[in-house]
Amino acid sequence: MKKTGKKAAIGFIFITLLIDITGWGIILPVVPKLIGELIHSDLSEAAKYGGWLGFAYAITQFIFAPIVGNLSDKYGRRPIILISLFGFAIDYILLAIAPSIGWLFFGRIIAGLTGASISTASAYIADISTDEDRTKNFGLIGAAFGLGFIIGPVIGGLLGHYGARVPFYAAAMLCMANFLYGLLILPESLEKDKRRSFNWKRANPIGTFNFLRKQSKISSLVVALILVYVALHAVQSNWHFFTMYKFNWTERTVGLSLGLLGLLIGLVQGVLIRWTTPKLGEQKSVYFGLLFYALGLMLFAFTNKGWMMFVFLIPYSLGGICGPALQSIISKNVPSNEQGELQGALASLVSTTSIIGPPIMTNLFYYFTHDNAPFEFSGAPFFLASILMSISAIIIYFAFQRKSKS
């Protein structure tokens, strides 16, 4: 792909992801309120349901992500991204009209079936990247996440004032607009001579693990990545429940806090990483990122003032220099015609962590906040997450040591 074409393609995928993540961010501030309305219970109980909703989405994606990844290796990235965007639009409509909690689970399953926009976008970026700009380009995914989380939660928090369902309609319209944008604008990234036939042995969760097991160079790094993603669910699955419970935050305040988190992540992965990766190198970027993650999470766990949560978002967000560097290191060790399978496999692993992460973190929150709790410690999920980040750093250290000796 020519340089100008590559820049345009990266721009297209960035905008597509930005709109996609904005739609997701819009609904976050009102999820606790909608669940509470449907189950007629308090935040502690709603958190449990929130975790199991995450589980329903993740286990469905775990099964279907390898299929989608291999389909993108055969038919190209573009059609898979478009199907994914359309599926998310249907999901949000179902959530908006849900008369019972069962409808929320059904909607999340639909999203899990088609939810491959992130993993396919990762393969898309891998297709058009060189070793020199791979980390920088993967960083744009994080920047799209960040900017989407600036716009989405703030809008969602404001719209939530008019009812818990209004943000879901807004998210559905945004995803449908994104689908139409991609249909008209998004180019294909995988050239026909680099495509390969579909294989059911590769296109299943077991085949996925077989693929990763054969990649001995990256096995320890993948284990560390699993721990990181489980730990991140302390924030992703628990932030709105925790802040509403401990500090009585409204949907608007939750939206603003997530918007600030998005801004900081965007600055770190879209701007700061362009300086840190050349200066520190990929390995040190991973170490420093995990250190900041662990510090930020530990501070969340023990804070007793709402305004401190805004301040402690800074060290937590600096942890964002870890992800793109680690993803780049893993990607460099896999051939170009297997990038779709790799990203599908990694998406399955992320889904595995999302199968166990939300229930662990939200049930831990419930255990230490319900009426019969042994003692109150609403920050328990953040404490556990900080420990997991530290363990991940140790695993990566020994993996790099083994590689340097070989």
The predicted pLDDT at position 178 comes to 80
The whole-number pLDDT of residue 364 equals: 96
Mean model confidence pLDDT for the chain: 84
The pLDDT assigned to 406 comes to 61
Confidence label for 115 from pLDDT (cuts 50, 70 and 90) = low
Q: Is 72 or 247 the better-scoring residue by pLDDT?
A: 247
Measured in whole angstroms, the distance separating CA 109 from the mean position of its chain's CA atoms is 17
| Highest mean pLDDT out of 23-32, 51-60, 103-112, 359-368 | 359-368
Where do the domains of the chain lie, and which CATH numbers do they carry? 3-187+207-405 (1.20.1250.20)
> What is the tens place of the pLDDT at every residue in 131-157?
777 777 877 777 777 778 788 889 988
Q: What is the pLDDT of residues 248-275, one digit of tens each?
A: 999 899 999 988 988 888 788 778 888 8
Res. 337: pLDDT tops 60? yes
Could you please report the per-residue DSSP string of 190-248? S-GGG-----TTTSSHHHHHHHHHH-GGGHHHHHHHHHHHHHHHHHHTTHHHHHHHHH-
Helix count and strand count (H, E) for the chain: 17, 0
The pTM of this model reads 0.78
DSSP annotation of 335 reads: -
How large a percentage of the chain has pLDDT more than 70?
91
Q: Is the Cβ–Cβ distance between 26 and 167 less than 8 Å?
A: yes
**Is 276 in contact with 328 (CB distance < 8 Å)?**
no
Helix %, strand %, coil % of the chain (to 5) = 85, 0, 15
Question: Does residue 1 carry a pLDDT above 70?
Answer: no
pLDDT at 2 over 60: no
